[in-house]
Amino acid sequence: MLILASASPRRLALLARIGVTPDAVDPADVDESVLKDEAPRDHARRLARDKAVAVAARHPGKIVLAADTVVHAGRRILPKAEDEATARACLHLLSGRRHRVLTAVAVIDAGGKLRERLSESLVTLKPLTAREIDAYVASDEWRGKAGGYALQSYAEAFCREFRGSHSGVVGLPLYETRNLLLASGLSL
């Protein structure tokens, strides 16, 4: 039995692309604050691990899949945009700039063993005009997205360069996820 420790419809859709349908969805409720001096990679890994552990405690003997996506420019971790001001600030910061998108995946198997992987992608957005930022913010697709944009939607038109895992940027790197699920005993 597979439990997805996320309420993200994007993660459900990505899993469906590799033929995986979780038996249950049970979002983890963990504090996602950045710890003092925490590096972006460590932050993503810690949150994915904490989510998996929290949900596995509620579902002993089940396979639990958790993930966390972090957008960072340098050592600065960008927030999930929940309001227009945050979305605008993220878009202004990323405009014309290369940044990294990390998605950590954690799987706990039925025996309690934790396996983890980290996907790292490099994204460069074109320089954005004030009009483009206004139009994108009006679209509302940025809401709840790390870094204030969704590469799988309209914001892809702003992507000048991309290197890495597209599914990882969307929120669940399929290559890493599939291998972790297979190693955890899930038949695919």
- Residue extents of the structural domains in the chain: 2-183
For residue 121, the model assigns a pLDDT of: 98
| Spatial distance between the Cα atoms of 37 and 111, rounded to a whole number of angstroms | 33
| Spatial distance between the Cα atoms of 104 and 141, rounded to a whole number of angstroms | 22
Record the pTM.
0.94
Q: State the catalytic residue, choosing from 26, 50, 68, 109.
A: 68
| Spatial distance between the Cα atoms of 39 and 154, rounded to a whole number of angstroms | 29
For residue 188, the model assigns a pLDDT of: 83
* Domain at 2-183: CATH architecture: Alpha-Beta Complex (3.90)
Q: Is 29 a catalytic residue?
A: no
Mean pLDDT of the chain: 96
pLDDT in tens, 8-50: 999 999 999 999 999 999 999 899 999 999 999 999 999 999 9
For residue 139, the model assigns a pLDDT of: 95
pLDDT in tens, 46-97: 999 999 999 999 999 999 999 999 999 998 999 999 999 999 999 999 999 9
